[in-house]
C-alpha cells in the first residue's frame, strides 16, 4: 500500500495560515511570466481553468488557478498527492505545480476532445460495442487506480473526457478532488455525486474501492439507454431507491440490449459490496471483452434520452478546449486579428414528464437534471 511521504507534500503553518509544502512545488511572483494565457476553459466559485502555452516550450496545458483564501489545503494536498502518483494513458495527469502569493496553480495535461455525452450525440451511429469499449477503458484506468490504493469516489459521465477530437480518441478520467489514498482499504467519509454514489456510502457505512465499481455500473446503464437507473422527484426517495438497488431495465428502451450487458450491470450494481464485481472481474466479463456486445445501432434512442435527461454542464463557458484550440488555429491560418469568437454552445432544454407512470414511453423526469448534471454537487453527512 502507498504511504504518503511528508517530505514530498504536507502542510506548513505560515502566519497562522496553513499552506502546502511540496518539494517539487515552484514559486512565482507572476504566473504570466511562465505561461501565455490563451482562453478561459471554465470557472467555478473558487477556481478558474485556462488554456495556456508554456513560454519556454510552447506546450499547451490546462491551468487550474485556485484562490488561497477560499481553499481547503487538506483537499488540495490530497488531490496533488493523488495526481502526482498517477501515470496512466486514460487518466489526466498533473504536469507541474506552482504557487504565488495569492494562488495555487495546477498545470494539467490538456484534453480537447470534449465530454462523453457530447461525443455520443455527435456520433450519428452508436452501438453496444461502442459502449463496451468505452467502459473497458474506464475499467482499465480504475483498475490501475485501485492497484495503487487510490479510490476515485466521484466517477460520473462529466468526469470522462476525450483526449482529442479524433474519431478513435481514448477516454480520460478527470477530477481527483474527492479521490482518496486508501492505505487500509476502508473509508468512512460520505462524499460523491447523488445518483452515482453507492448504497453503502448513503447508508453511512464504512466503504471500500467497491464504490467505484458501483459508479461504473451506473455509467454503463446510462450509456445503454440514455437515462439514469434511479429517478425520483424527492431526494429522500431517490436515496432510498439507491440504498435498495431498486432499478429496472424498462421496456422499450432495453428491449434490444443484450442479456450479457444487463448481467454486467447487475454484477456492478450489486447492493452488497462484497458481492459486487471488482475491476479485475469486470474486465474479464464477456460483454467487456467484446464477445457478446451487440452491433445493433442504438444511437437514436440513446442520444434522444441523453439530450432529454441531462443538462449541459453548468461550468461550460463560450469556449471549451476544443473550440479554443480550433479558434487559435483559424486565427493562425487567416492572420486575422479581429475574428469574432465562436458562439456559446446552446443549452439543451429539459423536458419534464407528465407523470411517474409514463416511464415506459417518456424519458423520466425533470429532477434528473438537478441530481445528475451538477458538476460539483458533493454531500457530507
Residue 204 lies in a domain: yes
64 is in an annotated binding site: yes
Determine the pLDDT at residue 45: 73
Q: Which of 46, 32, 41 is nearest to 111 (CA)?
A: 41
Same domain, yes or no, for 56 and 156?
no
Query: How much is the pTM?
Result: 0.73
- C-alpha grid cell for residue 212? 467505484
pLDDT of residue 44: 75
Task: Please count the structural domains in the chain.
Answer: 2
Please indicate, yes or no, whether residues 168 and 101 belong to a single structural domain of this protein.
no
pLDDT at 57: 97
282 and 204, same domain (yes or no)? yes
In a domain, residue 353? The reply is: no
CATH no. for residue 103? 3.30.200.20
201 and 58: one domain?
no
Looking at residue 147, its pLDDT comes to 92
Enclosing domain of residue 123: 116-305+366-372
Do 42 and 182 lie in one domain? The reply is no
Gap between the Cα atoms of 107 and 95, Å rounded: 5
Does 265 fall in a domain?
A: yes
Residues 11 and 138 in one domain: no
Q: Residue 73 has what pLDDT?
A: 61
pLDDT for res 34: 98
Catalytic site positions: 154
Q: Which cell numbers in the block locate residue 197?
A: 454514489
Any domain includes 298:
yes
Residue indicated by cell numbers 426517495: 237
pLDDT at 43: 81
Position 351 scores a pLDDT of 33
Same domain, 120 and 253: yes
Assess whether 254 and 172 both reside in one domain: yes
Residue 380 belongs to a domain? no
Q: Is residue 224 part of a domain?
A: yes
Q: Do 12 and 74 fall into the same domain?
A: yes
CATH, residue 270: 1.10.510.10
Answer whether residue 377 is part of any domain: no
Q: Are residues 200 and 339 in the same domain?
A: no
One pLDDT digit (tens) per residue for the chain, 381 residues: 222 233 345 554 444 445 555 556 799 999 999 999 999 988 877 789 999 999 999 999 999 998 888 776 656 777 677 778 788 999 998 899 999 999 999 999 999 999 999 999 999 999 999 999 999 999 999 999 999 888 888 899 988 999 999 999 999 998 754 344 444 444 434 444 678 888 998 888 777 899 999 999 999 999 999 999 998 888 889 999 999 999 999 999 999 999 999 999 999 999 999 999 999 999 999 999 988 999 999 999 999 999 999 865 433 433 345 555 555 555 555 554 443 333 332 232 333 333 333 332 222 222 333 334 433 333 332
For residue 286, the model assigns a pLDDT of: 98
Together in a domain, 241 and 326: no
Q: Are residues 206 and 295 in the same domain?
A: yes
377: enclosing H helix or E strand: none
The interaxial angle of helices 299-309 and 210-225, nearest 10 deg, is 110
The predicted structure's pLDDT at residue 365:
26
Amino acid at each position: 500500500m502507498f504511504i504518503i511521504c511528508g517530505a514530498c507534500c504536507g502542510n506548513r503553518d505560515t502566519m497562522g495560515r496553513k499552506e502546502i509544502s511540496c518539494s517539487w512545488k515552484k514559486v512565482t511572483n507572476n504566473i504570466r511570466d511562465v505561461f501565455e494565457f490563451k482562453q478561459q476553459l471554465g470557472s467555478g466559485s473558487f477556481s478558474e481553468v485556462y488554456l495556456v502555452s508554456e513560454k519556454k516550450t510552447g506546450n499547451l496545458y490546462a491551468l487550474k488557478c485556485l484562490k488561497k483564501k477560499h481553499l481547503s489545503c487538506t483537499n488540495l494536498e490530497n488531490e496533488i498527492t493523488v495526481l502526482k502518483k498517477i501515470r496512466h494513458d486514460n487518466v489526466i495527469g498533473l504536469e507541474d505545480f506552482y504557487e504565488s502569493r495569492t494562488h495555487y496553480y495546477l498545470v494539467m495535461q490538456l484534453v480537447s476532445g470534449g465530454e462523453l455525452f457530447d461525443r455520443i450525440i455527435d456520433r450519428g451511429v452508436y452501438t453496444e460495442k461502442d459502449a463496451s469499449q468505452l467502459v473497458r477503458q474506464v475499467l482499465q484506468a480504475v483498475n490501475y487506480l485501485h492497484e495503487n490504493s487510490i479510490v476515485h469516489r466521484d466517477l460520473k459521465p462529466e468526469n470522462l473526457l476525450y483526449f482529442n477530437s479524433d474519431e478513435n480518441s481514448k477516454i480520460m478520467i478527470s477530477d481527483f478532488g474527492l479521490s482518496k489514498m486508501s492505505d487500509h482499504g476502508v473509508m468512512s467519509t460520505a462524499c460523491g455525486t447523488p445518483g452515482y454514489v453507492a448504497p453503502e456510502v448513503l447508508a453511512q457505512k464504512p466503504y471500500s474501492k467497491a464504490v467505484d465499481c458501483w459508479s461504473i455500473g451506473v455509467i454503463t446503464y446510462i450509456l445503454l439507454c440514455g437515462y439514469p437507473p434511479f429517478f425520483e422527484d424527492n431526494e429522500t426517495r431517490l436515496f432510498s431507491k439507491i440504498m435498495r438497488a431498486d432499478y429496472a431495465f424498462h421496456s422499450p428502451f432495453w428491449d434490444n440490449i443484450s442479456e450479457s450487458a444487463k448481467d454486467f450491470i447487475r454484477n456492478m450494481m450489486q447492493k452488497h459490496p462484497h458481492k459486487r464485481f471488482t475491476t479485475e472481474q469486470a474486465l474479464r466479463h464477456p460483454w467487456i471483452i467484446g464477445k457478446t456486445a451487440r452491433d445493433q445501432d442504438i444511437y437514436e434512442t440513446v442520444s434522444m434520452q441523453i439530450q432529454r435527461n441531462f443538462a449541459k454542464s453548468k461550468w461550460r463557458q463560450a469556449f471549451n478546449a476544443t473550440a479554443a484550440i480550433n479558434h487559435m488555429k483559424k486565427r493562425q491560418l487567416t492572420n486575422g486579428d479581429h475574428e469574432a469568437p465562436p458562439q456559446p454552445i446552446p443549452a439543451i432544454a429539459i423536458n419534464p414528464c407528465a407523470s411517474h407512470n409514463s416511464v415506459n414511453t417518456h424519458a423520466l423526469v425533470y429532477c434528473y437534471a438537478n441530481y445528475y448534471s451538477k458538476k460539483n454537487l458533493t454531500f457530507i453527512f
